[in-house]
Chains A and B, each alone.
Chain A
């Protein structure tokens, strides 16, 4: 055997072995896309404005306190999200230097400008970018913790592109999509607020009012500046919808939790027990011991979910009761443990494929495609006889190569991907046909077998290269500009064309060389 041929054979066997290793057993190694396997695909946008807003509000609150401490007078501070700035309304112009000094020590690096009678403090652009970036990263991290709790292998939680505010989540083996979204996309920001009793209801046992107007009336026609009205959430609030007056500020928030776990209360109802960080615990103890007998409200994502009377000073350990189902408590505890998302999220896209639909598609699509391929391949043997077997080997290897390379890259097989496989299979088939027809033509001209085979390959090569390269160029552009499924299609196409060039030209030619042997004259070729 020629050295050259040995080397070719070795290479072919090595490629085959590697690809085979990547797809055996197929049920484990070939990763099906969610459209075939079933699962949930979510694209979320992190509303980073929320994070900027919350930073603004924090700074706002801090400044209000600081100005009060130094008795600097103003008519209130407004947070302006659009310009990422704070507007100190009607500040005392005489004390301008004092204002500037306070702001500079509190918020170093912030730009200060006078606008009419107001003072505008702007967050530096770099800082805003950092806040947004951090919001996306934190959200990503926390969502990952939550998704991980599903105990599903092969989930994806990733950022869609650099500097984007989009997060892509894929969880195979669909769970109830509602629950997934609740768990993944809700911030779960927990706050505790004091119920500010209206003067008329000082006796205790206040149970809220039916309408907002009634509540406002109890306060004598206007809510105090540090009080906000909240309506209780009937789903988690013994079925009642009532309006409650709550303090603006919260002594502690869910960001200061050490741990949270589900448990059962005395009546067997589900609840979540949580513990606070030592620092927050100290503050909470001071707050609760000063407010024994008063009511404390718990809010989750600005929804009022519980009001309880403070019986005793609470330090680290508290609980949220009356949650309903055990699994809701489990979910809430998980969300609290992972930490609140720093911003709300918007569902941009959702694709849920139920397992039965996915199974149908796989069964029918793959079976039909396979049947079609087998018929085609069978026909090649019928039409080209001995050389047809050559084509069968090349084509089978082609499919093996495509699947092997895809699996090696960790790519998933989707419906558009199957389309790509069919197209490349068609082109590989065409490559074989082109070569064989060319060989036949040369033989018809009366050339000897070996020369015909060589000329056939040589002449067909240019055609195959041109058509494949044109398609590759198109595929690269599709990959560049396309979105998810189109990308998958383009990827399969490029791999398939590379595999097709390899099998139709390299492997098939090698097999012809084997058949024709060396040196001796060949008079007949089964083609």
Chain B
């Protein structure tokens, strides 16, 4: 099967239209970045994010009340709606980073601990004290409690603990009653008896807790920036060296900046959270786009060796056509993978796969309409000067 046999499309003939389009896209990205900015995730913003999953729809007022009592009145509370699990009652409690340069130290630095303690005191206060909360305790905690009561029966304890943990994971992280846990396959009658006496189920389970201190957030930002800028410069040097012309290196880097801008612009326009996984997606795009650009540049280099002189634009056009089957096939297949990830990858991967999707389209487009015109213009300009 073949898509094209000896295609001969005039890609660069209408380059002015497309270059205008490119400029519009980039401008849209830049404007959105400048006005709306990025919705920084906790990685870069700092502060504390606690996501809890409630068994029943929680009362926001009650949650706010519990937090205010512990001096956390400034917390933002938000219900999360999960497209892939609409029945779940997930709540995000966000405490913004402290203003000012003074970083909390020692015990004060445990912001997320305070949030959890406040919620536990305010929401789970009615439960029997001293019992193991099966929705909050991890396997280690359950194991420890049980091991004190059943010395020398490690195998039985271990079986019961993993059974309860597996049951909870299989049921969305929440157990609704102690009896339910006792019925989990693998829990021995002795263990069930112990659970009835010593366990309880709280109203919520922890989905995730993230705390990023001010110094770490700043460092993450700084190092991410160094990493990105450093790798761009290194790539520029390598391509310059390999293709023996600065034009190629510079245009490849401008292409990458274009792709990164378009992807970031899309993230900014949709106000998806920009966190480390999205940064990883942007880097993936950069890697993918450079690959795409090099494939065409390489073909140009090869064609240049065969035909001296001639029209550079025509040469680029031929090279793009020669690699067209490859471009379409690769893009289609990678897109397919990313599309599946976007559609079925779950809400946690959504910002990541969305960024990839945008970037891969932009990456293939930019090779033809960003890197190629730049090299042509640059080379023509240099030649004109040389003649003059």
The chain A residues found within 8 Å of chain B, CB to CB, are 40, 43, 47, 150-152, 171, 173-179, 181-182, 185-186, 324-327, 330, 344-357, 359-361, 363-365, 367-369, 371-373, 375-376, 379-380, 382-385, 415-416, 419-420, 422-423, 425-427, 429-430, 433-434, 437, 440-441, 444, 459, 462-463, 466-471, 473-478, 480-483, 485-486, 489, 493
Contacts and interface: CB of A to CB of B under 8 A. Distances in A.
A125 to B, nearest CB: 24
A466 B252 CA distance: 13
A178 B349 contact: no
A419 B227 contact: no
A463 B298 contact: yes
Main secondary structure of the interface of B (DSSP, over half): helix
B347 to A, nearest CB: 9
A344 B107 contact: yes
Interface in B254-291: 276-277, 279-281, 283-284, 286-288, 290-291
Given A174-B138, A473-B234, A375 B280 contact: no
A373 B345 CA distance: 13
Given A352-B209, A364-B84, A372-B337, A485 B348 contact: no
B234 A429 contact: no
Interface in B77-124: 84-85, 103-107, 109-113, 116-117, 120
Interface stretch (B58-66, B68-76, B182-190, B214-222): B214-222
Given A177-B116, A433-B326, A463-B295, A364 B346 contact: yes
Contacts of B140: 150-152, 171, 173, 175
B339 A372 contact: yes
A346 B214 CA distance: 12
B203 interface: no
Contact of B213 (A349, A420, A440): A349
Contact of A355 (B1, B168, B356): B168
Nearest to A357: B207
Contacts of A376: 333-334, 336-337
Interface string B130-145: 1001001111110111
Contacts of A467: 290-291, 294-295, 298
A482 to B, nearest CB: 5
A177 B206 contact: yes
Nearest to B296: A463
B173 interface: yes
Contacts of A176: 133, 136-138, 141
A64 to B, nearest CB: 27
A345 B106 contact: yes
Contacts of A483: 219-220, 223-224
30 contacts: A174-B206, A327-B145, A347-B111, A353-B208, A354-B173, A355-B168, A356-B207, A363-B346, A371-B340, A375-B337, A376-B336, A416-B277, A419-B284, A419-B352, A430-B334, A437-B325, A440-B2, A470-B290, A471-B287, A471-B291, A473-B235, A477-B230, A478-B231, A481-B226, A482-B223, A483-B219, A485-B276, A486-B276, A489-B280, A493-B287
A267 B326 CA distance: 80
Contacts of B226: 481
A309 to B, nearest CB: 28
**B-side interface size class:** 35 or more
A372 B238 contact: no
Contacts of A482: 223-224, 227
B385 to A, nearest CB: 29
B227 A477 contact: yes
A348 B108 CA distance: 11
Contacts of A367: 344
Contact of B294 (A40, A375, A470): A470
